[in-house]
Structure 1
């Protein structure tokens, strides 16, 4: 491994889902190697302001402030070096980063999954997430039929795409499940040709849900997953566990998120985006 230079970064988190943010104007020649090196939970970057080493991904953000509202092009490179098409908490962080630089409270976010509108109220950011889809082509599935409340590798799941594919399982108590054991077989199941995030949900007793997610690309559980929170509510509506267009509280380990999945149109994801600190990171040129 050869180090050429350093690049400035900032660190943010959205309900515990943490990211290094790098301005795309600062060139990083090998983004996958950069993410694999610095996101590592044992050997990656640590900040004195942050208790956690590494991160759930690197957001490379390109600000286009000449537009009204301003636009930011978001590329999320995950700890395994892959690029995620969409990340709800990452999009909220991208909006906070762009708003800080433009002084606006509305931002358009260009992602591989499409353009999303975000609005800000202090540290709270709400982002449009697109319309969830259960269609086999959209998830995608290696099947012509939707996967709804069906057993896959010992877990009863509903498959939905909320920007990325999720296999959602409703259980009595998310804390009673050994997620690191049950999730990988589902994540790699043949019915998911591109893999799937595995999300567990259980009722919180107040009309919402508790959530845990094993993320594809991170290859482990994260403190929060925004696309997973939307997937929980979308699947809950599909199974008749909730109804209507009112916001539903979904609580992963990192904190509460507000999710609205209307009968028609884009879902909404709301919650805090918090700045943790900044620093300089080695630009990783090559891994051996």
Structure 2
């Protein structure tokens, strides 16, 4: 038995999208198999989307299952891909995305997709991180990081040049540090000389480096502004997969803007009821 999918990516952060109405008895097992880049289709996760067209603007209920089978409460580029998918089907330029981190508005402007990212928090209990106060430029497992939650936790280190960093060596000890009861994503960022930043991110749930991370881009931007590394708005953040823009409104809420591409369609095999 098979179910259809659509493959989208946002600045290289790629996802299989499956309509939530499709029968998938074990979403975690499917993600573990099909996100594998050697044996499966290859992706940074599977987005299961339920489209509710009766609302204005239309609503999309988004569930992201990651390559390790876990469910992530939020993904900036994933939400932008979900928005493009929904806009393609409804002919609209705006949609609401329901995530485990809250309901967010997405708009298409000049071909790019902008998604609300809520209000980042440095509150240790909400990240969560095992600390009595906010964590700024603190050594954790040998890496000096600032910690923020932008829908998911991020530990961000500013370095001279992200290309000089062995991310696969320095990130896992921080990602699995006892300081983070639910783990954390790990970002490194370096100034680009014009108020923006180059980005590399080791993602929790992917358990490796991704070509882009939207929540990570927001984490870098908000921390850079808090530490006085930039006063730009928007802040340009450049992961390996493309360019993103992070803006802030008067309430401190962030938005994430960048391109989204529909790559191709296909089908994946799932267990039939008789096989269960």
- What's the TM-score bracket when you normalise by the shorter of the two chains? over 0.9
Q: TM-score, normalized by length of structure 1?
A: 0.93
Corresponding residue number in structure 1 for 2:220: 232
The count of corresponding residues between Structure 1 and Structure 2 is 274
1:10 offset after TM fit, Å? 0.4
Corresponding residue number in structure 1 for 2:101: 113
Partner SS for 2:268: strand
Corresponding residue number in structure 2 for 1:273: 260
Corresponding residue number in structure 2 for 1:148: 136
**What is the 5 A alignment of 1:5-20?**
5-20=1-16
Distance 1:160 1:103, change over 3 A: same
1:151 offset after TM fit, Å? 0.5
Corresponding residue number in structure 2 for 1:49: none
Q: 1:250 aligns with which of 237, 251, 258?
A: 237
Structure 1 distance, partners of 2:70, 2:152, is: 13
2:199 paired with 1:211: yes
1:264 offset after TM fit, Å? 2.3
Query: Please, which moves more after superposition, 159-168 or 140-149?
Result: 140-149
1:25 offset after TM fit, Å? 1.0
Distance 1:284 1:174, change over 3 A: farther
The 8 Å contact of residues 212 and 224 in structure 1, kept in 2 or not, is answered as yes
Q: 2:29 aligns with which of 23, 26, 33?
A: 33
The 8 Å contact of residues 58 and 76 in structure 1, kept in 2 or not, is answered as yes
**What is the 5 A alignment of 1:84-123?**
84-121=72-109, 123=111
Point out where structure 1 has 5 or more consecutive residues left out of the alignment.
Answer: 46-53
Query: Please, which moves more after superposition, 138-147 or 182-191?
Result: 138-147
Structure 2 distance, partners of 1:34, 1:127, is: 27
Corresponding residue number in structure 2 for 1:201: 189
The 8 Å contact of residues 123 and 274 in structure 1, kept in 2 or not, is answered as no
Taking only aligned residues, the RMSD between alpha carbons, in angstroms, comes to 1.4
Runs of 4+, deviation exceeding 2 Å: 261-265
2:217 paired with 1:221: no
Q: CA offsets, 1:58-105, max 9 Å, x none? A: 000000000000000000000000000000000000000000111100
